[in-house]
Amino acid sequence: MCNPYKEILNLSGTLLVLATSPSPLHVRTHFTNNVILNWSKLRPWIQPVMFVDDIGSSIAEMAKQNGWLIRPVPRRRSNIPVFKDLILETSTINPSSPLVGFANDDILFAYNIITTIAVILESLVTIREQFVFITGRRRNVDGELIGRIDDVDCPQIVYLLGKDRSAFSQDSADYFLFSSNTVRKYWAEMPEFVIGRAGYDNWIISSAVARNATAIEATETITALHQTGEDGIRSGVFLPGHKNRTDLNLNRDLIPDFDYSAGYQYCNGWMTNSVCSERRYQFKSLPKRCITLTKRTRIK
């Protein structure tokens, strides 16, 4: 069941270099292990990259054995990886990849991330000359349920778990994909945002829209499952022992006057849509012919 279907097998080359950096919380290690296995099944179309301090650690070795590339964390602020440094480093890994990106280490993907990217690349045939930004919202799944399911890392299982769940709120963003040749031009000067804390996702969306990027929300056609643990569905806002934490507002403190509503998902000028019956494709991911890229006619 976990083998890519024929349409994906016919695609060639790396479409996306996708990075993450694992949480230091040991209670979330099993989530990271699931991500390692899940993202490895998206290769070679998506090349996963893990940024860690100890490239010889057990979790880094597990990732390496499953086809991941391992890199040291370029820079930290308050002991948390700085987002832009991860993206800038990721953009140097494979110059032939049209897209680079980042997602947290608790996000599982279905194969429809590959078909959606393929449709976007075919729709924007001059993507290498365009400023393209792709993002989307997750679907939350309880960690206890995740732990009871065999082969939860299988992209088809991810698709089945996600297809009847509602996407998270409009103010959230759970993956960030950029046209690789525009990363240094447009993102090198972003504030010193850190990963896993609130605020930077909305700023990125707002900045992409303000700079006239082809900004695309792909929530409807990319199944991104958030493995929800004891820290809840807003772990970047409410962390264990959050009353005593001093790092919750690391990003917000950098942009005190920012209007967060300018970075909601509906601000993206484009979106992907599914035009086929979910019932027909309930046991596998959506094929390319079922995915369209359309321009939003109005902001809700």
Q: Is the pLDDT of residue 284 over 80?
A: no
CA distance between the termini of the chain: 39
- Identify whether 236 is part of a domain: no
- Identify whether 3 is part of a domain: no
Q: Is the pLDDT of residue 205 over 60?
A: yes
As for how many domains the chain has, the answer is: 1
Angle between helices 29-40 and 58-65 (to 10 degrees): 20
- Identify whether 148 is part of a domain: yes
- Identify whether 6 is part of a domain: no
Could you give the CA distance from residue 237 to residue 233 in angstroms, rounded to a whole number?
9
- Identify whether 46 is part of a domain: yes
- Identify whether 243 is part of a domain: no
C-alpha of 95 from chain center: 20
Contact between 16 and 117 under an 8 Å Cβ cutoff? The reply is yes
- Residue 150 sits in a domain of what CATH number? 3.90.550.10
What are the pLDDT digits (tens) for 149-179? Answer: 888 899 999 999 998 899 999 999 999 999 9
Q: Is the pLDDT of residue 283 over 50?
A: no
Can you tell me which residue has the tokens 């493995």?
227
Look up residue 237 and give its amino acid.
Answer: V
- Identify whether 263 is part of a domain: yes
What are the pLDDT digits (tens) for 222-264? Answer: 999 999 876 554 554 444 444 445 688 999 999 999 999 999 9
Q: Is the pLDDT of residue 299 over 60?
A: no
- Identify whether 136 is part of a domain: yes
Range of the domain at 98: 12-231+249-295
Q: Sign of the C-alpha dihedral, residues 20, 23, 28, 33?
A: positive
pTM of the model: 0.91
Could you give the CA distance from residue 276 to residue 280 in angstroms, rounded to a whole number?
8
The C-alpha R_g of the chain, in whole angstroms, comes to 18
What are the pLDDT digits (tens) for 56-100? Answer: 999 999 999 999 999 999 999 999 999 999 999 999 999 999 999
